[in-house]
């Protein structure tokens, strides 16, 4: 079943919503509000459904990075976030305050302390609980 989308109506919706890759909590909250507004509508036009699908995809991509599944260890989360941001061990040392601790954490020889988890959460703009 192929639904035809009116390009002018869809362009108008896109102009109003201005969807883009979500990189901040503010943009995430804005996208969630837009999705909630669409979901609350009784009946969606094909254009609104297309916008809803787009926003949902953007939200899922953001959540996959910011809120990884529980199966990931704190070290896996840290390694992934560092990789995405092209960070080095020396960058991690600046965040947690010790070159030795950064090395031991990345080599799996030391866990992440609560104070380090809070510092990492703040540095990466994610919940500190990902590192505990």
- CATH topology for the 74-131 domain: 434 Repressor (Amino-terminal Domain) (1.10.260)
Crossing angle of helices 89-96/99-106, nearest 10°? 120
Question: In this structure, are residues 52 and 44 in contact, taking their beta carbons and an 8 Å threshold?
Answer: yes
Which pLDDT band holds residue 15 (cuts at 50, 70, 90)?
very high
What are the structural domain ranges in the chain? 7-66, 74-131
Question: In this structure, are residues 60 and 94 in contact, taking their beta carbons and an 8 Å threshold?
Answer: no
Phi-psi region of 97 (alpha: psi -120 to 50; beta: other; left: phi over 0): left
DSSP secondary structure letter of residue 3 = -
Q: What angle do CA 23, 58, 68 make, to 5 degrees?
A: 70
Give 55-65 pLDDT, tens digit per residue.
Answer: 988 988 888 88
pLDDT value at position 54? Answer: 93
3-state secondary structure of 16: helix
Give 108-125 pLDDT, tens digit per residue.
Answer: 999 999 999 999 988 887
Low-confidence winner among 62-66, 70-74, 84-88 (lowest mean pLDDT)? 70-74
With 0-12 CB in 10 A as exposed, 13-18 as middle and 19+ as buried, what is 107? exposed
Give 37-48 pLDDT, tens digit per residue.
Answer: 988 888 889 999
Provide, rounded to the nearest whole percent, the portion of the chain with pLDDT above 70: 96
Question: In this structure, are residues 54 and 18 in contact, taking their beta carbons and an 8 Å threshold?
Answer: no
CA–CA separation, 25 and 19 (whole Å): 14
């Amino acid at each position: 079943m192929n639904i035809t989308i009116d390009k002018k109506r869809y362009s108008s919706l896109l102009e109003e919503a201005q969807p883009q890759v979500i990189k901040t909590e503010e943009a995430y909250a804005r996208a969630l509000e837009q999705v909630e507004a669409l979901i609350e509508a009784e009946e969606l036009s094909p254009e609104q459904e297309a916008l809803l699908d787009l926003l949902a995809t953007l939200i899922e991509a953001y959540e996959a990075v910011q809120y990884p599944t529980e199966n990931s260890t704190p070290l896996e989360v840290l390694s992934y976030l560092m990789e995405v941001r092209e960070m080095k061990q020396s960058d991690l040392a600046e965040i947690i305050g010790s070159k030795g601790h950064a090395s031991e954490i990345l080599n799996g020889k030391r866990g992440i302390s609560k104070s380090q988890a809070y510092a990492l959460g703040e540095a990466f703009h994610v919940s500190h609980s990902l590192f505990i």
